[in-house]
C-alpha cells in the first residue's frame, strides 16, 4: 500500500516536471487502443492495417506539434464477439490506462464498447462499425462515429439504384446488429423512393454457403438483391450469385457495404459493375495518393480501406483536440473535437455534429471492367459525389437524446 502511494507521488512529480501541457494527461502518456477483428473475416478491412494507420497519425501529429505529447498505440483482437470486446475495453480502461479506443468494426461489439466508454468517461472513435444507432438512440457524449454508417450507405446506394429502376428488393441480411440496421435503413430509403421490399432472409454470421439464401432471393423475382452483409460474407455472396446464374437471369446485386479489399479479393472479373458507396478512395487526389502509397508500404502492399483511412483521420483530430484542451479526459476531449473543425489529407475539411456524427462527402462508385483497370487497386469510377450535408442522416431524425429538439 505504502509503496503504491510512493510510486504514485513519484509519478505525479514527474508529470509535473514534464511541462504544463502534460499536466492534465493521465500518467503522462496518451494511450490509444486500436480494437478490431485482427484475424477473421473483417481483418483486411480493419485489422493490423488500422494499427498502422493509427501509428501514422501519431507520427504525423508529432511532426507538426510542439507540445511534446507522449503517445502510445496498442492493438487487440475482439474476434467479432461482444463479450470479448467488452472484456478488452474494461481491461484497457481499468488496468492498462488506455485513454481512447478507436476503430471497432462489428456493430454489436461497437455498441457494447460505446456503453462501457460512456460509463467510464473515456473516449471512443468509431471507424469500422456501421450501425447508425451509434449516433441515433445509442448516441453518447463520449463517442464519435467517424467514417460511414448504415444510413449513409442506404441513402447513397439505395437511392441511386431505385432512381435507375431497381424498385423491387429482396434482402440477404447478416443476422446481427449491423445487418439489421443496414437492412432497416436501406428499406426506408427504398420505400421512400417509391420502391417495394418483396422479402428478406437473415443468414448466420459469419456464413460460408449462401446458395440456399440466394435461391430464395431468386424465387422472390425481385429486381434487386440487397446484400446487407460485409467482408467475407459479401465476397462469397457475390461469387456464388454469379455461379448460380442469378445476375444472368436479370436480377442485380446491390452490395450495400463493399470495401476496396473485397473488390481486390473478388477480382474485377466477378466484381465489375457493382455500385456502392464509400467515403474514401485512395485515388481521389494527390494527397490521398501520397498517403495511401505510404500506408501500403507499411501494410504489406495492401492499399487502405475507408475504415483504415478513418482511423488515421480520427486519431489525428483526437490528438489535436488533446493538445488544444490540454487534457486527455475522455468527455472533455470529445467535446473539444466537436468544437474544432476537422481537416486532414484524407477526408478534407469537415466537422463533427452534436450527436457525434463526423460529416464529410460520400462517393457513389462503380467497379471498373478488367479492361479499364491499369493494375491492382485501380478499381473505382466515381459516379457521383454526395455533398457532406446530404450524405448523412439529418441530425433531427436520429432520436439522439443529446440533440435538443
Partner 1 sequence: MDTIFGVPTQALFGQLLIGLINGSFYALLSLGLAVIFGLLNIINFTHGAQYMLGAFTAYLLLTKAGLGYWWALLIAPVAVGITGILIERLLLSHLYKLDHLYGLLLTFGLALIIQGVFRNEFGSSGQPYPIPPQLTGGQNLGFMFLPNYRAWVIVASLVVCLATWFMIERTKLGGYLRAATENPALVQAFGVNVPRMITLTYGFGVGLAALAGVMAAPIYQVSPQMGADLIIVVFAVVVIGGMGSILGAIVTGFGLGLIEGLTKVFYPEASNTVIFIIMAIVLLLRPAGLFGREK
Residues that bind partner 1 (CB under 8 A): 39-44, 47, 175, 201-204, 206-209, 211-213, 215-216, 219, 231-232, 235-236, 239-240, 243-245, 249, 261-262, 264-267, 269-270, 300, 302
Nearer to partner 1, 86 or 218 (CB): 218
Contact 178, 130 (CB under 8 A): yes
Nearer to partner 1, 43 or 309 (CB): 43
What is d(CA 334, CA 313) in angstroms, rounded to the nearest whole number?
A: 15
Of the pair 244, 399, the CB lying nearest partner 1 is at 244
Task: Identify which of residues 135 and 270 has a Cβ nearer to partner 1 in the complex.
Answer: 270
* Cell numbers found for residue 326: 490540454
CB 332 within 8 A of CB 123: no
Shortest reach from residue 92's CB to partner 1, in Å: 23
Distance CA 26, CA 390 (A): 39
Q: Nearer to partner 1 by C-beta: 201 or 335?
A: 201
Residue closer to partner 1, measured from CB, 168 or 261: 261
Helix, strand, or coil (residue 381): strand
d(CA 110, CA 141): 15
Taking the complex as a whole, the smallest distance from the CB of residue 327 to partner 1 amounts, in Å, to 38
Vertex 294 angle, CA 293 and 298, to 5°:
110
Which CB sits closer to partner 1, 170 or 213?
Answer: 213
Least CB distance to partner 1 at residue 315 (A)? 23
Measured from the Cβ of residue 274, the count of other Cβ atoms closer than 10 Å reads 24
User: Would you call 289 helix, strand, or coil by DSSP?
Assistant: helix
Name the minimum Å distance from CB 267 to partner 1: 4
Residues 228/171, Cβ–Cβ less than 8 Å = yes
Measured distance CA(195)–CA(206) in Å, rounded: 29
Q: Shortest distance, CB of residue 269 to partner 1, whole angstroms?
A: 8
* Smallest distance, partner 1 to C-beta of residue 4, A: 38
State the nearest-atom distance from the C-beta of 347 to partner 1, in Å.
Answer: 24
At 32, is the secondary structure helix, strand, or coil? strand
* CB nearer partner 1, residue 138 or residue 174: 174
Least spacing, CB of residue 243 vs partner 1, in Å: 5
- Closest CB to partner 1 among residues 55, 203: 203
Chain mean position to CA 57 = 16
Q: Which residues partner with 74 through β-bridges? A: 33
Task: Give the nearest distance from C-beta 246 to partner 1 in angstroms.
Answer: 8
Q: Is the Cβ–Cβ distance between 42 and 105 less than 8 Å?
A: yes
What DSSP designation does 357 have? B
> What is the rounded CA–CA span in Å between residue 382 and residue 285?
12
Nearest to 355 by CA among 310, 307, 311, 399: 399
Amino acid at each position: 500500500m505504502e509503496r503504491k502511494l510512493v510510486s504514485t507521488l513519484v509519478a505525479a512529480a514527474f508529470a509535473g516536471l514534464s511541462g504544463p501541457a502534460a499536466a492534465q494527461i493521465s500518467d503522462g502518456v496518451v494511450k490509444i487502443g486500436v480494437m478490431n477483428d485482427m484475424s477473421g473475416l473483417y481483418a483486411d478491412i480493419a485489422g493490423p492495417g488500422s494499427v498502422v494507420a493509427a501509428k501514422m497519425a501519431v507520427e504525423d501529429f508529432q511532426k507538426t506539434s510542439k507540445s511534446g505529447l507522449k503517445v502510445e498505440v496498442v492493438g487487440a483482437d475482439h474476434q467479432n464477439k461482444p463479450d470479448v470486446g467488452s472484456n478488452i475495453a474494461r481491461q484497457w480502461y481499468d488496468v492498462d490506462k488506455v485513454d481512447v479506443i478507436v476503430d471497432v468494426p462489428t456493430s454489436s461489439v461497437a455498441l457494447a464498447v460505446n456503453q462501457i466508454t460512456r460509463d467510464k468517461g473515456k473516449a471512443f472513435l468509431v471507424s469500422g462499425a456501421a450501425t447508425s444507432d451509434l449516433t441515433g438512440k445509442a448516441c453518447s457524449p463520449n463517442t464519435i462515429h467517424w467514417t460511414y454508417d448504415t444510413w449513409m450507405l442506404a441513402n447513397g446506394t439505395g437511392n441511386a439504384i431505385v432512381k435507375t429502376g431497381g424498385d423491387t428488393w429482396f434482402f440477404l441480411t447478416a443476422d446481427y446488429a449491423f445487418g439489421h440496421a443496414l437492412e432497416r435503413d436501406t428499406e426506408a430509403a427504398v420505400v421512400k423512393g417509391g420502391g417495394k421490399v418483396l422479402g428478406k432472409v437473415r443468414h448466420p454470421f459469419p456464413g460460408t454457403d449462401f446458395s440456399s439464401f440466394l435461391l430464395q432471393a431468386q424465387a422472390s423475382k425481385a429486381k434487386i438483391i440487397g446484400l446487407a452483409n460485409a467482408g467475407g460474407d459479401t465476397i462469397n455472396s457475390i461469387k456464388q450469385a454469379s455461379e448460380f446464374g442469378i445476375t444472368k437471369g436479370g436480377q442485380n446485386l446491390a452490395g450495400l457495404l463493399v470495401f476496396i479489399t473485397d473488390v481486390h479479393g473478388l477480382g474485377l472479373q466477378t466484381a465489375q459493375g457493382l455500385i456502392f458507396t464509400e467515403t474514401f478512395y485512395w485515388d481521389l487526389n494527390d494527397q490521398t495518393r501520397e498517403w495511401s502509397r505510404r500506408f501500403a508500404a507499411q501494410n504489406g502492399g495492401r492499399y487502405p480501406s475507408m475504415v483504415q483511412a478513418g482511423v488515421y483521420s480520427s486519431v489525428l483530430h483526437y490528438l489535436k483536440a488533446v493538445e488544444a484542451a490540454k487534457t486527455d479526459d475522455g468527455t472533455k476531449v470529445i467535446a473539444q473535437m466537436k468544437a474544432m473543425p476537422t481537416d486532414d489529407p484524407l477526408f478534407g475539411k469537415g466537422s463533427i455534429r452534436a450527436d457525434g456524427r463526423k460529416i464529410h462527402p460520400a462517393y457513389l462508385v462503380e467497379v471498373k471492367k478488367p479492361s479499364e483497370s491499369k493494375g491492382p487497386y485501380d478499381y473505382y469510377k466515381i459516379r457521383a459525389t454526395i455533398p457532406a450535408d446530404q450524405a448523412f442522416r439529418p441530425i433531427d431524425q436520429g432520436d439522439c437524446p443529446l440533440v435538443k429538439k
